Amino acid sequence: MECLFGFEGNGFVVVVADTSANQSIVVQKTTEDKITCLDSHKLLGCIGESGDRVQFSNFIQKNLNLYQFRNGIPLTTLAAASFTRCELATALRKAPYQVNIMMAGFDKRTGPSLYYLDYIATLQKLEKGALGFGAYFILSIMDKYYKKNMNLEQALQLVDKCIWEVGTRMVASPAGYIIKIVDKDGARLLERRGRPAEEHGDPME
């Protein structure tokens, strides 16, 4: 019952993921960080089978760091997304990684960007997107409430709405979420949030 979503704002990208690590009907952990800082200005949100998720996220992070070490410059967000897609496509013909990804970054020339990648090596640039079971509810919320050039306060209101909707509608909703942001100042943790209480009501009302 994983949940990963993100969207562009005015000069930044917000990425949100649940913090649950589950095996069958057992919740093994509620503090898992599924959003990896690839470098100073890139985030990789990844959900899927736990072993593949951790191994693949680390593999991409170390390879991007190796490229920067060898060449003296980091890859752009598009180049990093293309490299990730290539690795997924190569693995698809051997032993596929069971992962779905949202990659966010900020580049001096192009500004913020968000990319969707799935386990069959699809790559698509997005303004907003969601993955996992939570996407069944979040995508419709984003269609209604998302606006281009949202400021950070508006973005966090939309995050609250998405989390509230998943917590209210999904049978087994995640216990907590981690929120990270990337902008001209870099990629960083914004905050952690728990499952909303029903009595608090819809944050958009």
- Tell me the residue length of the chain: 205
Q: Sign of the CA dihedral 102, 106, 107, 110?
A: positive
The tokens describing 173, both together, are 């909703």
Query: What are the phi and psi torsion angles at 159 (to 5°)?
Result: -60, -45
Q: Please name the residue ranges forming H helices in 72-148.
A: 77-92, 135-145
Domain locations in the chain as residue ranges? 3-200
pLDDT in tens, the chain (205 residues): 799 999 999 999 999 999 998 887 888 888 999 999 999 999 999 999 999 999 999 999 999 999 999 999 999 999 999 999 999 999 998 999 999 999 999 999 999 999 999 999 999 999 999 999 999 999 999 999 999 999 999 999 999 999 999 999 888 888 899 999 999 999 999 998 876 655 455 655 6
Answer CATH for 3-200 from 3.40.50.10710, 1.20.200.10, 3.90.1150.10, 3.60.20.10: 3.60.20.10
Distance from the Cα of residue 104 to its chain's centroid: 8
User: Cα–Cα distances in Å, from 36 out to 43, 140, 143?
Assistant: 6, 26, 27
